[in-house]
Amino acid sequence: MTITETTTKTTGDLAAKAQRHLWGHFARHGADITPPIITRGEGTRIFDDKGNSYIDGLSGLFVVQVGHGREELAAAAAKQAQQLAFFPLWSYATPTAIELAERVANYAPGDLNRVFFTTGGGEAVESAWKLAKQFFKLTGKPGKHKVVSRSIAYHGTPQGALAITGIPAFKAPFEPLTPGGFRAPNTNFYRAPEPFAHDEKAFGRYCADRIAEAIEFEGPDTVAAVFLEPVQNAGGCFPPPPGYFERVREICGEYDVLLVSDEVICAYGRIGSMFACDDFGYVPDIITSAKGLTSGYSPLGAMIASDRLFEPFDDGKTVFGHGYTFGGHPVSAAVALANLDIFEREGINDHVKQNAPAFKATLEKLYDLPIVGDVRGEGFFYGIELVKDKATKETFDDDESERLLRGFLTPALWEAGLYCRADDRGDPVVQLAPPLISGQAEFDAIYDILHNVLSEAARRL
């Protein structure tokens, strides 16, 4: 049997096994759908089981900050596994969890000094809501349990986190959900209502004030927290208008409502700083994070809370009755420490800050295409909104979006050598979040593929 025949047989075997046994996440099945099989990564590229190479334009899933194939991260995992493969943080501690908690706390702003480890972002969000509820019960405000988040925002899939998520189609199959989730407008300036369409700061004030309105409507004595991403992911990378978070911080202080900065995507350099709240000049009460903490080399998430929120638990008897078997896993914590070493040694955050303007400028060249309505984002996190009519900003209906995104763009971009996300949780967008080690060569390659494929999409329309 030749090498080619062996490869083909192996590929066929994997595809058949995937179709028979693998239940993909957020994936369609049946109708002979077989997922692409990714076998390895190197730097900013990934490779499939047929040997094809692709630019990883999404860092896996906003995760692989320092790039694929980092031997020292694999070595850190192996070394820790040999020494202590597992022990829980249930009334015990491990050296790697302790060291990582201190390090993460030192990166965090203000007095966010308490780190509660999870295995992922949805769990971190779930933990934050539970902490908010118990904190207010312990401090004499037991009615405060509700949460305000933004329209179209994604905050995870556990029942509690899903109630905070603002995407109706994601929630409908699982209703009734945990009660208490309410919505305010997001910061999509491209589609701002007419009074604010030419004044970004006024639009930001308007959006922030709607949060105050929601708190008033529900009753300040019932609202525990506001959950906001620094740059909202779902809908296509909505950055905050100037002054937005300053006003939100004022509102939360006025009503004694906790401000939770959901940085599962935005933390660890994606926008430029370790925590994106620093990029936008606000100090939250809680930060939720995951993904880039280990660059994806091992699962780990973290909820980082202020000293004020920890104080009621610091009496020798009160317990936060919440936890995860693998939260703060010693191997994952070791990988995170090694990952943060790379950040510091290679100046990853400074690299993002220095190269973000070039990334933005390269993507903005796509404005010459009639199908590109908006290019928006921050750092290494951008969305490109697609429209039927550039002058009127007319979007696509559901059937057109289905044909455009899933029928054409997703396979065409993949076949052209780019892995990214074509998404219609709001209006149709293409999302990009390359590894933080990317530079102009990667930006140009991404642009070339996008320009060619989007040009063809425009012609088909």
Output the tens digit of pLDDT for each of the chain's 461 residues: 444 444 555 667 999 999 999 999 988 899 888 899 999 999 999 999 999 999 999 999 999 999 999 999 999 999 999 999 999 999 999 999 999 999 999 999 999 999 999 999 999 999 999 999 999 999 999 999 999 999 999 999 999 999 999 999 999 999 999 999 999 999 999 999 999 999 999 999 999 999 999 999 999 999 999 999 999 999 999 999 999 999 999 999 999 999 999 999 999 999 999 999 999 999 999 999 999 999 999 999 999 999 999 999 999 999 999 999 999 999 999 999 999 999 999 999 999 999 999 999 999 999 999 999 999 999 999 999 999 999 999 999 888 888 888 889 999 999 999 999 998 888 999 999 999 999 999 999 999 999 999 999 999 87
Q: What is the pLDDT of residue 7?
A: 53
Residue in 294, 280, 183, 273 with CA at minimum distance from that of residue 230:
280
| Bridge partner residues of 56 (DSSP) | 419
Q: Is 223 helix (H, G, I), strand (E, B) or coil?
A: strand
Residue 394 phi/psi, 5-degree rounding, is -60, 130
Q: What is the pLDDT of residue 9?
A: 55
Class of domain 36-65+348-460: alpha beta
Q: What is the pLDDT of residue 333?
A: 98
Domain boundaries, the chain: 36-65+348-460, 72-346
User: Contact 406/257 with Cβ under 8 angstroms?
Assistant: no
397, exposed or middle or buried, with CB in 10 Å at 0-12, 13-18, 19+?
exposed
What DSSP designation does 34 have?
A: -
Q: What is the pLDDT of residue 398?
A: 86
d(CA 224, CA 314): 21
d(CA 415, CA 408): 11
Q: What is the pLDDT of residue 10?
A: 67
What's the whole-model pTM score?
0.96
**CA atoms lying within 13 Å on the CB side of residue 427:** 21
CATH label, 72-346, candidates 3.40.50.1820, 3.40.640.10, 3.40.50.2300, 3.40.50.620? 3.40.640.10
Torsion sign across C-alpha atoms 381, 346, 273, 268 = positive
